[in-house]
Amino acid sequence: MTPILAFDIETVPDVAGLRKLYSHGTESSDAEVAKLAFDRRREATGSDFLPLHLHRVVAISCALRDRDSFRVWSLGEPDEPERDLVKRFFDGIEKYTPQLVSWNGSGFDLPVLNYRAMVHGVNAARFWDMGEDDRDFKWNNYISRYHSRHLDLMDVLAMYQGRGNAPLDQMAQLLGLPGKLGMDGSRVWDAFQQGQIAAIRNYCETDVANTYLLYQRFQLVRGALDEAQYRRECELVRTTLSKTGEGHWREFLAGWST
């Protein structure tokens, strides 16, 4: 089988980049630099959500279904440099050529990862192949919105219309899944400043588990799985998570009603 890799990222303001772009001196703290960026963005757009090229990746979580196994984990160590996290992600694509699955990955996660790969000079040859190296990639690659090597489940379900987009948290809950646990994206910066990187990684992992299970339901709906196969896939996830004993997975399983 083609490996299935669902992924999700968490980000904070790229303070180092903001210092370069806006000539902030060392007298300003990271929190002050970020606040100025939020204020500037809010004045311009009404929202403090920063442009994608001004995000820094602090967590990348993956759910990998390969052969008879399933696992969920966060790439690297909690204190690992951003460059290494981004490299690990693209190295995984190089190694497995997986079916990528995301929720809003085309609109957020992949563009951010692309910008950070540019900043750090990370090679991502397999990801960017559009048929130059592998002829099959001309007709099905990771880049085209309408190709399936990367399936942005939110985008597909909305029929590629932004007004039809749905939040991961609400869709997960509608299907009996736990949805978001512990925090949401708006709280990641505060948690990061308080040194709560483990909590951020745990939150990211539960998001990617929700995404993977939504993808399995989509496979049922589109006829790629029958009911028995779908139930077996869900049970594999449930069994795998129940063996970890980690608190965020106990909470996830307790909130999974179907």
pLDDT reported for residue 25: 83
Q: Is the pTM of the predicted complex or chain greater than 0.85?
A: yes
Question: What CATH number has the domain bearing residue 9?
Answer: 3.30.420.10
177 close to 137: Cβ distance less than 8 angstroms = no
Q: What is the pLDDT of residues 169-222, one digit of tens each?
A: 999 999 999 999 878 778 999 999 999 999 999 999 999 999 999 999 999 999
Burial 187-213 (b: 16+ CB within 10 A, else e): ebbebbeeebbebbbbbbbbbbbbbbb
Domain that holds residue 46: 4-254
What's the CA gap between 25 and 17, in Å, rounded? 12
Counting the structural domains of the chain, the total is: 1
152 close to 104: Cβ distance less than 8 angstroms = yes
* Pairing outcome for strands 150-152 and 99-102: parallel
Beta bridge partners of 7: 62
CB atoms within 10 A of CB 47: 9
Q: What is the pLDDT of residues 75-116, one digit of tens each?
A: 999 999 999 999 999 999 999 999 999 999 999 999 999 999
